Amino acid sequence: MCGLTGFIDFTRSTSEDALREKVGMMAETLRHRGPDDDGAWVDAEAGVALGFRRLSIIDLSAQGHQPMASASNRHVIVFNGEVYNFRDLKGELESAGTRFKGSSDTEVILEAIEAWGLEKAVRRFIGMFAIALWDRHERTLHLVRDRIGVKPLYWGRQGKLLLFGSELKALRAHPDWTPEIDRGALAAYFRHSYVPSPFSIYKGIEKLMPGSIVSIGPDGRETTLTYWSLADVREAGRGDLLDVSDDEAADGLDTLIRESVGLRMISDVPLGAFLSGGIDSSTVVAAMQAQSSRPVRTFTIGFEDDAVNEAQDARRIADHLGTDHTELIVRPAEAREVIPRLAEMYDEPFADASQIPTALVSQLARREVTVSLSGDGGDELFGGYDRYLRGRDLWAALGKIPSPLRPMTAGLLKMVPIPAWNVLFSLMPKRVTPGQEGRTMHWLA
């Protein structure tokens, strides 16, 4: 997973030893992200300090150590994530005369930036990444986040101090920063059940927006560049629609999924997958198994309550695909034990109940593998949340109910207990029932 952090002290009055001590404290808070190695790089004249904790995935040798300097020593990088097409980029750079010391994607990122410039290089990276890059010639810090924002990156200012890191706890470790709750972000959390980008729970600290590069010059001024935009991709697609049959579209999609999953299977450490039995994770695991010479390691947690237990579905998928499957049935007490640790894991308020099973299945998988793929993103990519369509259609009808009558209607719906709704709907033909009938009626209320 890895973790990066650092800061610029624009007073430029802090000694090298003090810079190293402070960034070391910040990096130590990220040990759980990178238990294999750590490093720091400082420039007292510029007031810059970079810190890193490493989880070794590609090139386990010391040649993958970070912070890493480019061959020319112009750029210094700390980088969290993976650039999956690094081998293709490396081959192109080698053909142009670049020589490499190791086999890490970090070194390829650095030399690609040296050869093509930051923006052109980042546009060619296929992967998930958060990058902090210090340009020693321009005395400029560049912060970069991947297209979708898979990898986190927080940054912000307080007085003459600029801080950044993979997690908020790293920023909190700097002795000269005083965190203050942002009441606007808190209000957004109560509305959305999470703190939406670009805000964080702390005043003055932002999440770097996906697909963005922010550059902070020696005078402290910042410029932001959006190198990738989902809105632009959508408009380009609308203007150049594919003229293919359904079968051709399905074959093309299958090819893209296999290529995408295959790139993410590049690893020098044990790799597995979370398997829930749903469409998304099952598709990913199927694509993995089709490209693997041995059974893929899959991991599932289940619950004693059949209403929320997906373990049986996952087991059937695992048997069908022939994976090396591990299943753990979680007792209520084990789930409750996770709750006190959630604030430490997420650093800011987050109200999605999926964080509990996610923590548990991650804990299970870590016993056997270092990297695990999941089905996250499938619903967003393929429009899998039917609640938006249902919500639009429901509002078209409910919006006609006068405002004073809506609370009364909601109260009447909730007066009927969920089991009673289930009994009532059991008397109706299945084709006209909504599924999870009692819960749906209370949700509607």
Both tokens of residue 418? 């969920």
Both tokens of residue 335? 């789930």
Helices 279-290 and 246-264: crossing angle, nearest 10°? 70
Nearest to 169 by CA among 394, 370, 348, 320: 348
* Contact predicate 295/289, CB 8 Å: yes
Q: 80 CB contacts (<8 Å, ≥6 apart)?
A: 1, 2, 3, 4, 33, 129, 130, 131, 151, 153, 166
Question: How many angstroms separate the CA atoms of 173 and 190, rounded?
Answer: 27
- How many other C-beta atoms can be found within 10 angstroms of the C-beta atom of residue 175? 11
Nearest to 281 by CA among 263, 304, 299, 256: 299
Q: What is the DSSP letter of 295?
A: P
Please confirm, yes or no, whether 2 is among the known catalytic residues: yes
Strands 324-330 and 297-303: parallel
Q: What is the 3-state secondary structure (H, E, C) of 398-414?
A: HCCCCHHHHHHHHHHHH
* Contact predicate 53/38, CB 8 Å: yes
- How many other C-beta atoms can be found within 10 angstroms of the C-beta atom of residue 196? 12
Given the residues 2, 68, 77, 365, the one annotated as active site:
2
Reading across the β-sheet that carries 68-69, which strands appear in turn?
68-69, 75-83, 127-135, 140-145, 212-216, 222-226
Q: What is the DSSP letter of 331?
A: P
Dihedral sign from CA coordinates of 240, 245, 250, 256 = negative
Please report, for residues 113, 142, 170, 376, the alpha-carbon distance to residue 216 in angstroms, rounded to integers and kept in the order given: 17, 7, 20, 33
| CA distance from start to end of the chain | 42
Q: 191 CB contacts (<8 Å, ≥6 apart)?
A: none
Reading across the β-sheet that carries 3-9, which strands appear in turn?
37-43, 48-54, 3-9, 161-165, 154-158, 205-207
Question: How many angstroms separate the CA atoms of 348 and 130, rounded?
Answer: 19
Active site residues: 2
